Amino acid sequence: MTDTLQIDIHQIEKSRIDSVDFDNLVFGRSFADHMLMVDFKDGEWQTPQILPYGPISYSPAMMSLHYGQAIFEGMKAYKNAAGEILVFRPEENWKRLNKSAVRMCIPEIPEDIFMEGLSQLLRLDAEWIPAKEGCSMYIRPFMFSTDEYVGVSPSKTYKFMIFNCPVGSYYSKPLRVRVETQYIRAAHGGVGFSKNAGNYGGSLYPTKLAMDAGYDQIIWTDAATHTFVEEAGTMNLLFVIDGALVTAPTGDTILDGITRKSVLQVAKEWRMKIEERQLSVQELVEGIKAGKVTEAFGAGTAAVIAPIATIGFEGVDYQLPERAEDAFSKRVFEEINDTRLGKKADTRGWVMKI
Ligand code: COI
């Protein structure tokens, strides 16, 4: 990619990198030296800036704090053996960010600002991309409204920003998840498909209740009947049932996950039977009891492929079998991991080299 876009760069004087323990990275707690910041005002996106990572100050009346025009993305960068920077499917994140933007009345971000801003930011903070197996640079693009105004309407000004975090794994062990049958994440016609900050805010209380009961996460069910499995909020859900890969169709209540999409593509290439269909909780628990459900896992950028060990439903814990050596979720993880690390030829055009 050529850098044709003008970006004003203000570099840090001294890197903070020595203060970070790269052998013990905790997800989301360390932030690389620089951030990208672009203002939208007078109906257009202004010249992007790269600045030292740090606090920004705003009016207490900033609209996004009150009316929730705030959306984000998550993606990851790696270094290959030659030390080149590889980003996994950033175009998909750019497209999805703009889908979220449209739904939330936020102006779309042009591709050149997103891609070139990202490229220049990563080049500047290349030292921060962890080399250790299982670690990566988690990239957080986001947009939010900035008008100082008390009144419910779309803001006239916004910011698009990106910062980077060197991270280890999001989940460190197979998960215990509980099927949620009281609270809901998304209803038809709502904002469930968008990566909108409020979706995550609304999930905190029911997730806390599940955590208090000894679970790691919840499985959201459909808002109307609580009958069908939807997603887990931090990740999409996939199951291997009778040898077929089963996952809920994304529609307007479920995030169109890029890891989910990648898993389905690999499964299709491997000629595995794929069923994008409604899966009832009843079918799931009956399937586990009958030994038909051999794998359950989450798929997401932060989580990557997160095996599920236990599913709690109506007070009963259903145990998934131990993952076999040749389990699909293991093999598909290796396929995606080797591709994004550049260990394997990128036959699908998934990797952007910077
Ligand atoms: C991601 O997977 O990138 C997300 O945004 C989910 C969140 C758990 C960090």
Ligand 1, pocket-test mutation among 29, 140, 301, most atoms within 8 A of CB: 301
- The domain that holds 286 is classified in CATH as 3.20.10.10
- The pLDDT assigned to 169 comes to 87
Q: Are residues 289 and 320 in the same domain?
A: yes
Q: Are residues 132 and 207 in the same domain?
A: no
Q: Are residues 130 and 208 in the same domain?
A: no
The answer on pLDDT for 2 being more than 70 is no
Is residue 3 in some structural domain? no
Mean pLDDT of 234-252: 97
Instruction: Tell the residue nearest (CA) to atom 3 of ligand 1.
Output: 74
Instruction: Kindly report which listed range (75-79, 97-101, 130-134, 144-148) carries the lowest average pLDDT score.
Output: 130-134
Q: Are residues 210 and 145 in the same domain?
A: no
Q: Are residues 185 and 307 in the same domain?
A: yes
- The pLDDT assigned to 233 comes to 80
pTM, two decimals, is 0.95
Q: How confident is the model at residue 172 (pLDDT cuts 50, 70, 90)?
A: confident
Q: Are residues 317 and 216 in the same domain?
A: yes
The answer on pLDDT for 4 being more than 80 is no
- The pLDDT assigned to 341 comes to 94
Is residue 298 in some structural domain? yes
Is residue 220 in some structural domain? yes
The answer on pLDDT for 207 being more than 80 is yes
Residue 340 in contact with residue 86, Cβ under 8 Å?
Answer: yes
Mean pLDDT of 45-54: 98
Give the number of domains in the chain. 2
Q: Are residues 191 and 107 in the same domain?
A: no
Is residue 231 in some structural domain? yes
- The domain that holds 36 is classified in CATH as 3.30.470.10
- Ligand 1 neighbourhood includes 300 CB (under 6 angstroms): yes
Instruction: Tell the residue nearest (CA) to atom 9 of ligand 1.
Output: 302
Q: Are residues 43 and 152 in the same domain?
A: yes
Is residue 107 in some structural domain? yes
Question: In the listed set 147, 169, 191, which residue is the last one of a domain according to the structure?
Answer: 169
Question: In the listed set 169, 187, 219, which residue is the last one of a domain according to the structure?
Answer: 169
How much distance in Å is there from the Cα of 234 to the middle of ligand 1? Answer: 5
CA distance 204 to 219: 13
Query: Residue 157 belongs to what domain range?
Result: 8-169
- The pLDDT assigned to 133 comes to 87
Q: Are residues 151 and 179 in the same domain?
A: no
Q: Are residues 15 and 139 in the same domain?
A: yes
Report which residue type is found at 161. Answer: M
The answer on pLDDT for 3 being more than 70 is no
Task: List the one residue out of 350, 295, 335, 352 whose CA is nearest residue 319.
Answer: 295
The answer on pLDDT for 1 being more than 80 is no
Is residue 349 in some structural domain? no
| DSSP reduced 3-state for 210 | helix
Q: Are residues 239 and 331 in the same domain?
A: yes
pLDDT averaged over the chain?
96
- Ligand 1 neighbourhood includes 312 CB (under 6 angstroms): no
- Ligand 1 neighbourhood includes 302 CB (under 6 angstroms): yes
Is residue 354 in some structural domain? no
Question: In the listed set 169, 189, 208, which residue is the last one of a domain according to the structure?
Answer: 169
| DSSP reduced 3-state for 160 | strand
- Ligand 1 neighbourhood includes 234 CB (under 6 angstroms): yes
Is residue 345 in some structural domain? no
Mean pLDDT of 350-354: 96
Give per-residue pLDDT as tens, 279-313.
999 999 999 999 999 999 999 999 999 999 999 99
* Strands, E assignment, 101-243: 136-145, 158-167, 175-179, 217-219, 236-241
- Ligand 1 neighbourhood includes 196 CB (under 6 angstroms): no
Q: Are residues 56 and 199 in the same domain?
A: no
Mean pLDDT of 169-173: 89
List CB contacts of 201: < 8 A, sequence separation 6 or more: none
Question: Which two three-digit tokens encode residue 163?
Answer: 């910062």
